[in-house]
Amino acid sequence: MDKKDLLELTEGLNQWETKPLFNLPSLFFADGPHGLRKQLVINDAFGASSSHVATSFPTASITACSFDKKLLKNMASKIAKEAKALNVHVLLGPGINIKRSPLCGRNFEYFSEDPLISGTLGASFVKGLEDNGVGASIKHFLGNNQELYRYTINSVIDTRALREIYLKPFSLAIKENPATIMTSYNKVNGIYTNEHPILKEIVRGEWNYQGVLISDWGAVNNKLNTIKASHDLEMPSSKGFFNSQIENKLDDEVLKSLTETKERISTLVNKYAKNYEETVTFNEHHEYARHVARESMVLLKNEDILPLSKEEKVLFTGPFTNHMRYQGSGSSLINPYKVDTIKDKVPEFSKNVTVTNGINFDSENIDSETIKLASSLDKVVILVGLPDEYETEGFDRENINIPSNQIKLIKEIYKVNKNIILILVGGSVIDLSFDYMAKGVLLAGLGGSASASAILDILYGYSPSGRLAETYIHKLADSNVQLTNNNSSVYYDESIYVGYRYYDTFNVSVKYPFGFGLSYSNFEYSDLTTSISKDYLNISFKLKNVGSFNTKEVIQIYIGAPKSSIFKPKKELRYFDKVALKVNEEKVINIKINLDDLRYFDIYEDRFIF
């Protein structure tokens, strides 16, 4: 077996393909986590070229709020179909990093501050791809929780936080056998992730992962160390730069690792590198994106103002009414098949509607005609949130505020009309200190290219069923997490107290808590029983829809240990599911929680214990 060919196999052929060695065809990678982004120019080293048309599905930050495993699986299956139509073999997603800080500029790509949500929904996404013949790449392993200085930053994380919070999503998603795991740019406790002992000790060892470990694009710093760590594939091609440095260092240990890599890459290529005759019906996928969005959006406030009736005279305004923001910026940016806007779609719901911009994104000047209209109509829906440049790969936010001109618009309308409904657009937490001026608040997030239609569905009567997958704090100062503003180290001093684990345990008041969300209907829980068998905690209860809307309820089971002798959060999410209920329908819910899932990691025994 030629040593040089073994080494050659460990780097990409170009920006997106593996090398066709050992009678293997090339394997094609493409982004992304909420829709396909296959570039038109394969050898574009900067990833700046435009891409093929695809469906822009809702981003992970809002789909996580669906708490719906089946929904994520089905969405991924649609993306897989689009990938196969363009001969993409492995999709670079989902992103399952923990949303440690609301400032992370890439939070829109990630599911949650909670590892169970992140890992479980990530696993569902993986299954949707893998069941349909497309490989998944769960990312970014490990400790990649900020964008600023991501290429060099050292994430300093204690062992227990690593095990219970940051490794947990990957351990859950791996159960669905993703084709690859993508390692991140950063260091963890002083070692680059693609060179880290964790790869051999935990990923290959404890988890018995047999798939391919690939680098984030351009993340390799020391090729020899990556090979020794059981890391397989350097992406993209470095045109032999790293390989030339180690050609004379291929001792028996390295050759053994290279041989194992060859077997893993061969298995990967033989399984996925196929050409399909696939036809995509983009209209169907666009409608499914709309379905995903409306199942995910979260009603945060409703003082008897929603749903709207077709007879009411309503003003829709705000900078997003005709320029809907529906995705984030960076490597996941999709060239959408089409994009719905409020202005184009609202006539399908009501004829008693007026649409204005109110303000432009970059102007403090408020349209006087908008204020005049607001004073004469029954209700005003204002779309506000984060502009494109506020959330993007490669940068973090400096604060959690929306632009001041948008708040100014709300205040001016509030002076003349108190019946305000706010629609929140964006991929992460924002300061909502202005929502006292609204009687209704709907979190739309970044809901994909059909987001506008989904918003209107809910406003005009489709009962919302989303629940927050991250805590909405009052102000940034309430967060216990610090990011670094230099390229050395960021210290995870909060340990396991991330998100609601901190706010609940230390009684910090929040604006809207994790797991919160309203419905147009009401639910009744009754006849709760619990028991413990040998391996499981058994929970049973009745759930009834006692309202007047067919809808869905999100079941959330939290468990705490108030008398524990070691530090633990006040409560932790241990189970969730989504249940559809028609009006007056009642279901018996039976839940089994594996007792092993209730363990904590003991740093002295170096294992999970009770």
Q: Which residues does the annotation mark as catalytic?
A: 216
The contacts of residue 532 (CB under 8 Å, 6+ apart) are: 538, 595
466: nearest Cα among 578, 585, 586, 327:
578
Q: Alpha helix locations (H) across 335-389?
A: 342-345, 368-376
Nearest partner of 81 among 139, 149, 137, 132, judged by Cα: 132
Q: How wide is the angle at C-alpha 173 spanned by C-alphas 540 and 119, nearest 5°?
A: 60
C-alpha to C-alpha distance for 115 and 163, rounded to whole angstroms = 10
C-alpha 6/C-alpha 223 separation (Å) is 13
- For strand 440-445 and strand 298-302, is the pairing parallel, antiparallel, or unpaired? antiparallel
| Contact status, residue 289 vs residue 55, Cβ threshold 8 Å | yes
d(CA 426, CA 260): 44
Q: What is the dihedral of CA 306, 309, 312, 313, to 10 degrees?
A: 80
Residue 94: asked if its preceding bond is cis (omega within 30°), the reply is yes
How far, in Å, CA of 17 to CA of 168, rounded?
A: 30
Provide the token pair at 111: 């599911």
Task: Indicate the pairing of strand 29-31 with strand 180-183.
Answer: unpaired
Residue 282: closest CA among 28, 81, 62, 128? 81
Structural tokens at position 571: 């409560």
Least Cα distance to 219 among 257, 254, 186 occurs for: 186
* Alpha-carbon torsion, ordered 499, 502, 505, 509, to 10 deg: -80
Which residues are paired to 384 by β-bridges? 424
Cα separation, 278 vs 81, in Å, equals 7
The pairing of strands 600-602 and 607-609 is: antiparallel
- To which H or E segment does residue 226 belong? helix 223-228
How far apart, in whole angstroms, are the C-alpha atoms of residue 493 and residue 502?
12
Residue pair 106/393 in contact by the 8 Å Cβ criterion: yes
Q: Is the distance from CB of 268 to CB of 19 less than 8 angstroms?
A: no
Record the tokens describing residue 210, joined without a space: 């047999």
Closest C-alpha to 116, from 516, 474, 593: 593
Helix (H) or strand (E) holding 608, with range, is strand 607-609
Q: Do 89 and 271 meet the contact criterion of CB atoms below 8 Å apart?
A: no
DSSP 477: G
Three-state DSSP class for residue 375: helix
3-state helix, strand, coil in the chain (%, to 5): 30, 25, 45
Spatial neighbors of 368 by CB under 8 A, at least 6 apart, are none
